[in-house]
Chain A
Amino acid sequence: MLALIIQTVKKSKWGIFGYTLAAALMVWLLVMVYPSMAMQGEELRKAFESYPKELFQAFGISMEGFFATLEGYLGGEQYSITWPIILIMLVVSFGGGALAGEVERGTIGILLSQPLSRIKLFLGKYLAGLVVILTYVFASILVVVPFAQIYDVSYRLPNHLTLTILGSLFALAIFGVTMLFSSFFSERGKVTMLSAGLFMLMYFINVLANLKESLVNLKYLSLFHYFDYGKALLENRIEPLTISVFLGVSVVCTLIGIYWFNRRDIAAS
């Protein structure tokens, strides 16, 4: 199984590098720009007052903290939409190829003709995925440390560490869902479309729930609702319900995925 994990991580090395670089470049830009944004904070806050407040509500951006701290600023600019999108792209890309991609390409024949059970194959791919995804989470969030030091911007390390934990839990949940789809289907494209479609729908539901009072309860159906980066960055806190939901989704989806992959027909050559 170790050989499988190493092979899978190696195959994804350029993906990890690319996605992490993209996120890191965003953080660099934002940290670089933050000091001048903070200096004009009061004027910008007054300018934003003319915007509909629903716009900020929809994306969970708090105007009070937005310019006051680097954490508030990064929360609104990076973690409200950009960082989750990059994470989802990485997860969906990896998850689609992990099992469904092997079946589609026919390489599952090489893997399953070796003394490797289907459960070990699933777990090998899963653990490799964790390495890939958590590398992205840690690197893309904690890259703020060197940039903040370079530009002499004050930051609260414990809060970023808390965000890293929250980001990891969020990643685990969406990875669990993607691996579940990957265990069901034999085409990478199907997994990618379904996963991406589902997460886009969840994002949309979360935005809608923030905008319309009558739809507010819909937010509980969205994993984005539980990804409360604001609380993590500004209050250094993760709600127990968030931990339960993310871990619960991850565990349930993974177990169903293992069960299904172990009993399905593999339509490989």
Chain B
Amino acid sequence: MAEETVIKVKNLKKYFENTKAVDGISFDVKKGEIFGFLGPNGAGKTTTIRCLMDLLRPDAGTVTIFGLDARKAAPQLKKKMGYLPGETGFYGNWTGAEHIRFVEKLSRPSPLAKQLVKDFELDAKFKVKNLSSGNRQKLGLILALMKQPELLILDEPTLGLDPLLQNKTYEILQEFAANGTTVFMSSHNLAEVERICWRVGIIKDGKLISVDSVRELKGKKIYNLTARFSQEAPEDFAMPGVEITKKMPGGVVLRIKGDINPVLEKLKQYELTDIEIAHESLEQVFLEFYK
């Protein structure tokens, strides 16, 4: 496990008039790890990221990146950083290729850019104003990754991407991490951070509730399972963390906290005609596990 600290946030506070967007959070991110920053909408994820990127100036606390003050050394640090904003703005009349060339001129030439365009299947000849939101997200990712940064800061990196491209993005991020890049990514998708992150910081209402390993996080899921049977629905689901929330003719809806496997094992005993599994929202997970 990497030991060098790349990001050190200490007692960070940022207020907007009467709103405490970030209220005294502290955490470290180690070199080479993929750190997830998880929280519902309005929790303070984007505000924290903007403080890391020196777009917002903290009201209190310190942000240190690679041992340097994130504000005073901002231009120097950005040589080593790639950033994907939550909603990337582009120059509408420019093509993707023009954006890439412009970023190269502002930072340095990128031998990786062509490969990334290919990997993300982006047609870089189209003007951005004619691109879908998914394609714009791809362009944003390319602009963040093309500098081969030592630190990637990504605000909801797979927003608007189809499942295939989400998987591609995860692969690429894992490749970067394997090559020593530290990744700090925000998300409100529990499954996503479970999939690729090593550790996850949970933020709610501006406060950092916990920093968990992904293994601990896996135990904090809630499922809604709807099962329909060829015969009368059974009622014997007396298991830890399982609750029958609805009974209907030939069917049952279960609310399952944590591991779903015991319930699936139980269901094998019956003849099912249909089964549907949905995740509860992150807000519900937070209410249940992070009060």
Residues of A within 8 A of B82 (CB): 113
B73-106 vs A, CB cutoff 8 Å, 1 = contact: the mask equals 0111011011101111111000000010011011
Residue pair A266, B87 in contact (C-beta under 8 Å)? no
- Closest 9 pairs (CB-CB, A-B): A106-B89, A3-B105, A269-B87, A113-B83, A114-B106, A109-B85, A269-B85, A117-B75, A115-B79
- Give 10 A-B pairs besides A113-B53, A268-B55 with Cβ atoms closer than 8 angstroms: A3-B102, A3-B105, A105-B91, A106-B89, A110-B90, A112-B55, A113-B81, A113-B82, A268-B50, A269-B85
Interchain CB contact (< 8 A) of A114 among B54, B78, B87: B78
Q: Which residues of A contact B (CB under 8 A)?
A: 3-4, 7, 11, 105-117, 120, 263-266, 268-269
Residue pair A107, B76 in contact (C-beta under 8 Å)? no
Residues of A within 8 A of B143 (CB): 110
CA of A269 to CA of B87, assembled, Å: 5
B195 at the interface (CB under 8 A from A): no
Residues of B within 8 A of A111 (CB): 106
Residue pair B78, A107 in contact (C-beta under 8 Å)? no
Residues of B within 8 A of A117 (CB): 74-75
Closest to B14 in A: A265
Closest to A7 in B: B102
Question: Can you identify 13 A-B contacts, CB atoms within 8 angstroms?
Answer: A106-B89, A106-B90, A107-B89, A107-B90, A110-B88, A110-B89, A110-B90, A110-B143, A113-B78, A115-B78, A115-B106, A269-B86, A269-B155
Residues of B within 8 A of A109 (CB): 55, 83, 85, 88-89
CB distance from A207 to the nearest CB of B (A): 40
Residues of B within 8 A of A265 (CB): 55-57
B107 at the interface (CB under 8 A from A): yes
Contacting residues of chain B (36-77) with chain A, CB-CB under 8 angstroms = 50, 53-57, 74-76
Residues of B within 8 A of A112 (CB): 53-55, 78
Residues of B within 8 A of A105 (CB): 89, 91
CA of A117 to CA of B76, assembled, Å: 9
Residues of B within 8 A of A264 (CB): 57
CA of A268 to CA of B46, assembled, Å: 10
Given the interface pairs A3-B105, A266-B56, A268-B89, the reply to whether A110 lies near B75 with Cβ below 8 Å is: no
